[in-house]
A and B are shown apart, each in its own frame.
Chain A
Amino acid sequence: MAPHTTLRAALLLTAFALPLSAQQAPRVTKDGPARPAAQPPRTSGLDRSKPPTLPPTPQLRVPVIETRTLSNGITVAVLENHEIPVVNVRALMDAPAVLDPQGKEGVAALTFAMLSEGTKTRTAEQLADAFAELGTTVSPTGFLTITKNVDPALELMRDQLWEPSFPQAALDRIRANQVANLRRLKDQPTYLAGRVLANALYGTGHPYERSTSEASLGAITRDDLVAFHSTYVRPQNVKFVVAGDITPAQAMEKLERVFGKWPAGGQKARYEVPAPTPLAQTTIYLFDRPSSTQSVIYAASTGPRRDVPEYYALDLANTVLGGSFLSRLNSNLRETHGYAYGAGSGFTYRRRPEIGQFTASAQVQTDKTDSSVVEIMNELRGIAGGRPVTQAEFDLAMSNAVKGLPLAFETVSQIAGAATTILQDSLPLDYYSTISQKYEAVTVADVNAAAKRYIDPGKLAIVIVGDRKQIEQKLRALNVAPVVVVDEQAKPLPASGGGSGR
């Protein structure tokens, strides 16, 4: 998986509500406005040939993030917004899958799935009954509920996080279901492409390649989950976000009451991510999925950390290349050639400032797989210096980045998401207030320099999942890069060929 996390995808906030008393609630009738309508203007004199002038962008209203600390040291971020009577609470647990023991991939995910399967005081059915009473499913790591139900929802969250009972029968059931889901995932071309790509880019066994398999699920015992829980699901690895119809004082009082006595212990989530061996040259990894009517194409390399100085320049470069509808990749593969329903690109910045990833992607009709590879490579060479970003492209990307900010600050869930980004990526609390200036400090030369530095068309892993019978020879004939027919581990198949890798 290489989710596209562009900046704006992670940008989520809502403006502070005006006090409701200041809002006029118009009287409504079924038939029309209660007030007499304004004089309808004459339509003559309308010049349709020019767009209307754009009035000044409205003042950006960024929510205030209050951070406080519970008596046991847990950080709490509160974002007050009384627009509607809902509250979103999130427990940001730092207990990622990277911590899974070798050969037991899936422990972290299975541990969190098991938290809802019963606690010291409630069976799974009793938890479900409690959720139904609230009208809100309370996951161990969060809920969105109406204001008056915050207390009971917090209590259910506490119960699951703090005192799960890990019934063996539930583990067996969930494990069997996860095995079934894995088998179904292997019918999905994007899942297959993601697996091959992780192996090609990082190498088998690397923290960013390891993923749940039937074998690893089979190796996991109840003791593994209990150990993972008691080690990592601890106050020192959690931060809370509370957003919506609640004051910081109320939020702190409630959280202190529910989580203030959560016993310390366990250890911080620490792990090392070694730098993978860089690819010597661009290589096409072909995975056979017979009778595919489209090919999934991922062209990828490792990428920079979240804290690179060129972060904003790179985001604008990506907007031009593949981060928007008008981007070069989408314009080329979709609008100009009609090879695909869409094409795009993105930089992934992982939770910690570790190794990131750059991925360009498209799903293209089978008979245009080779042509699409040519076009994708053209665009990557272009952005890397062959066709530098123009002033017009730069202006559009900049304008979109800065002017689109108000849309990110609307709902309670968006606000909570914004605080989540800040806490997880260790950004300053005033991050969203300063973001416009950070963009505006970037020049077109900065954008081109960043693209050149971080996008290297000569060192890409190009993964293609499609109907080998129809595409292999044409791909070889391109002479763009060596073509290797591989299995899911990105290992070459025996030359006898014919193996489908499935």
Chain B
Amino acid sequence: MSSPLPPRARWPRTRRPLAALAPAALALTALVALPGAARAQAGAASARVAAPRIPHTKFTLPNGLTVVTHEDHSAPVATVSVHYKVGSKHEKPGRTGFAHLFEHIMFEGSQNVPEGSFDKYLESAGANNNGTTDNDRTLYYESMPSNALETALWLESDRLGFLLPTLDQKKLDGQRDIVKNERRLRVDNQPFGSRFEVVSAAIYPAGHPYSWPVIGSMRDLSDATLDDVKDFFRTYYTPNNTVLVVAGDIDPAKVRQQVTRYFGDIPRGPALTRPKIAPVTLAAEKRLVLEDSKARLPQIAFTWPSVGIRSNDDAPLTALSRVLTQDRTSRLTKLLVYDRQLATNVGAFQGSNEDVGEFTINVTPRPGASLTEIERLVDSVVTGLVAAPPTAAEVERYKNFFAVSTITGLQSVFGKATTLGESELYFGDPEHFRKDLTDALAVTPADVHRVARQYLSKGRIVLSMVPAGQLTLVSKPDLPYVNVTPKPAVQ
């Protein structure tokens, strides 16, 4: 049983648009009907649909705030989503976890909204709200009956424009305790909960912006000061670093007036220079071992550095992941789960952030299965795709699933708002998500072969996860490895 409350802050580790956008079919002939768009004919093949459109308007206020609106009257609801271009990669050394800690503070009141009132206004209007932080961005949203729209704009503008006057040490300390408990819940009290952060720390050089976890370390959370909060706010929480989306049962002309009224007088912040962060490669394989006394069965994960969302290789890498584990006929799943029955579950995914990405294969072994044998079989499958392209049928297979999930993923106003917002935030084009689809449609077996050769034949991380003290279970225990088991956290 989990708490009935929505979490305040998740941090997706992958940068897929929240609506799980996915490639459609080869022939981009028809428009798919979304609310507010013209209906269209479906294509010929059984699951072939074209990239949907989300009709929208876009304008920029003199202070740099970019605003996107989408009108859809099919239900009397609206979503406001506010996308700030700041995430954990912008943190300073010694302050990991700060972007997310700051996100929590944004809910604690501002000049005209006393502490606790933010949620009170929204709950009493029947609205939901939350925020989420990842490596690249921080997102806040309200989903509400459409009559509450102005309330949401007032609340969002007050915390963007007037957060600091009521900020105090007590608010910071209170949220710090909560975030530490969030870390305990998600990481420290979970079997192998630190698996992701030990891999990030090993893939990226020390001090690299993607080398630390979004939740941060206990020590750094303890060290955060009020001055840090103020600096962060003044630097990143500015109209010119923000995309505001208003979608749903709205009147765009009226929204434009309201947004101008509430956000127009918030001063522009400093211009931000964004350092170029290049993807990394590993010269050699790194073998890591994680022990955990809270786990009684081992696991194993393989991670290769790959590319981020701006790279043309993102789509073929996604296709490669599906060739490995789309369903029971896919290469890796078939071999490990069905033919050899050494694993209950196999997952492969291309997780792409704004600047970098990681290609990961996770295997959940059956009790008693040898990690060494599993590694040997994983390598035989990967080597096969490095040596020769997959069949056309293998590459085509997953596109149908993506086509359908594209449509279903854009049913809700929330899904459309966040899709528009993320597209604008990263690419300056609210409809960039459609290019993701066309890119995916264009992937060929040769592309998959190329990216397998390019990314999966270089250095990687092999992480054996074993119950505490059971180092004999490590994959290929004769090879040198680094034991990355964390010391008990400094509370």
Contacts and interface: CB of A to CB of B under 8 A. Distances in A.
B126 A407 contact: yes
Contact of B182 (A43, A56, A145, A341): A341
A194 B124 contact: no
Interface string B38-50: 1100100011010
Interface in A399-452: 399-400, 402-407, 409-413
A226 interface: no
A236 interface: no
B420 to A, nearest CB: 11
Contact of A289 (B39, B125, B294, B488): B294
Contacts of A227: none
Contacts of A330: 5
B6 to A, nearest CB: 8
Contact of A149 (B47, B176, B180, B327): B47
Contact of A128 (B151, B294, B327): B327
Interface string A181-198: 101101111100110000
A212 to B, nearest CB: 15
B123 interface: yes
Contacts of A14: 74-75
Range for the number of chain B residues in contact with chain A = 35 or more
A58 interface: yes
B204 interface: no
A18 B296 contact: no
A410 B77 contact: yes
Contacts of A37: 59, 253, 256
A341 B178 contact: yes
Interface stretch (B112-120, B230-238, B274-282, B304-312): B112-120
Interface string B411-447: 1110000000000000001010000000000000000
A177 B366 contact: yes
Interface stretch (A83-91, A159-167, A485-493): A83-91
B127 interface: yes
B178 A334 contact: yes
B344 A180 contact: yes
B468 to A, nearest CB: 9
B1 A359 contact: yes
A227 to B, nearest CB: 26
Contact of A132 (B4, B59, B400, B413): B400
B262 A46 contact: yes
B121 interface: yes
A294 B126 contact: no
Contacts of B18: none
B383 interface: no
Contacts of A139: none
A329 to B, nearest CB: 9
Contacts of A137: 327, 401
B411 A412 contact: yes
B222 interface: no
A102 interface: no
Nearest to A170: B338
A20 B39 contact: yes
B297 A344 contact: no
Contact of B47 (A4, A57, A134, A187): A134
Interface stretch (B29-37, B373-381, B470-478): B29-37
B150 interface: yes
A363 interface: yes
Interface string B3-15: 1111110000000
A406 B189 contact: no
Contacts of B176: 338
B33 A85 contact: yes
Interface in A3-51: 3-4, 6, 9, 14-15, 17-18, 20, 23, 25-26, 28, 30-35, 37-38, 40-41, 43, 46, 48-51
A173 B334 CA distance: 13
Nearest to A300: B1
Nearest to A466: B189
B121 A30 contact: no
Nearest to B188: A293
B111 interface: yes
Interface in B377-409: 397-405, 407-408
A46 B264 CA distance: 11
Contacts of A184: 191, 296-297, 364
12 contacts: A38-B254, A59-B76, A85-B42, A133-B47, A135-B402, A147-B42, A149-B46, A173-B341, A341-B3, A341-B181, A411-B412, A412-B411
